[in-house]
């Protein structure tokens, strides 16, 4: 089972992934947690290039192709082998991030980026994508808080430095895209406590697992 988590900064994706991992492992499943960008060895190098404030002069097209390169490597080297080994894969961001950020955020064509994503993922789409939905005001306030708590430097802050308007476009883009793929993508409001949100996430994942069992 391949599950991805999406949303703007500060939606609590990593907390939800950790809680879901715990739940799945308690049911006896083996779980791999991974992320984009940076889920593979080469991807870790691309992540540094992509998120560094030094690289503010990157063109939107160059940025797009680096995210796609990261994805192609990640799918081939990490996600597909883990699925073949029978693991559940939980990825913090995947192809929908490119549509939300590079298309809706930066103004490229969503359908064109969807076609490029299709090439990058090599036919491997998630069984379920959880879109954690929150207002950009709330999300960014949480992200700034978290960075301060974790003592993160500004070196990884290229996207946190984007305007509120940019994140509002990204959020709307995600919501529009969830309507385009209603079977695969599910919107979960990310405003309650982590435990409340986890309850919604777990209900969706358990329903999917039960449906898969029925078809097996
Ligand atoms: P994060 O992993 O800490 O969320 O940071 C990754 C940043 O990269 C985040 O701001 C979203 C951005 N991003 C894109 O713009 N396009 C993509 O395809 C992906 C995977 C991430």
- In this structure, are residues 117 and 6 in contact, taking their beta carbons and an 8 Å threshold? no
Residue nearest (by alpha carbon) to ligand 1 atom 19 = 97
**pLDDT for the residue numbered 158:** 63
**Secondary structure (3-state) at 3:** strand
What residue ranges of the chain have pLDDT lower than 70? 153-161
**pLDDT for the residue numbered 162:** 75
Angle at 189 between CA 184 and CA 192, to 5 degrees: 140
**pLDDT for the residue numbered 157:** 63
- Locate the ligand 1 atom nearest the alpha carbon of residue 105 and give its number: 15
Choose one of 101, 153, 154 to mutate for the ligand 1 pocket test, by most ligand atoms within 8 angstroms of C-beta: 101
Residue nearest (by alpha carbon) to ligand 1 atom 16 = 98
């Amino acid at each position: 089972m391949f599950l991805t988590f999406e949303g703007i900064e500060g939606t609590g994706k990593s907390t939800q992934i950790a809680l879901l991992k715990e739940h799945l492992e308690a049911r006896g499943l083996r779980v791999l947690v991974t992320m984009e960008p940076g889920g593979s060895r080469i991807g870790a190098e691309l992540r540094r290039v992509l998120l560094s404030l030094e690289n503010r002069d990157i063109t939107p097209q160059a940025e797009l192709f680096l995210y796609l390169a990261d994805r192609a490597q990640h799918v081939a080297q990490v996600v597909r082998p883990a699925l073949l080994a029978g693991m559940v894969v939980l990825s913090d961001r995947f192809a929908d991030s490119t549509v939300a950020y590079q298309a809706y955020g930066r103004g490229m064509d969503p359908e064109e980026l969807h076609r490029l994503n299709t090439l990058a993922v090599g036919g491997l789409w998630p069984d379920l994508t959880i879109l954690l939905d929150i207002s950009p005001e709330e999300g960014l306030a949480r992200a700034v808080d978290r960075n301060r708590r974790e003592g993160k430097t500004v070196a990884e802050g290229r996207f946190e430095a984007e305007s509120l308007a940019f994140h509002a476009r990204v959020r709307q883009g995600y919501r529009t895209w969830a309507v385009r793929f209603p079977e695969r993508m599910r919107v979960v409001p990310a405003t309650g406590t982590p435990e409340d949100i986890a309850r919604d996430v777990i209900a969706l994942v358990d329903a999917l697992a039960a449906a898969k069992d029925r078809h097996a």
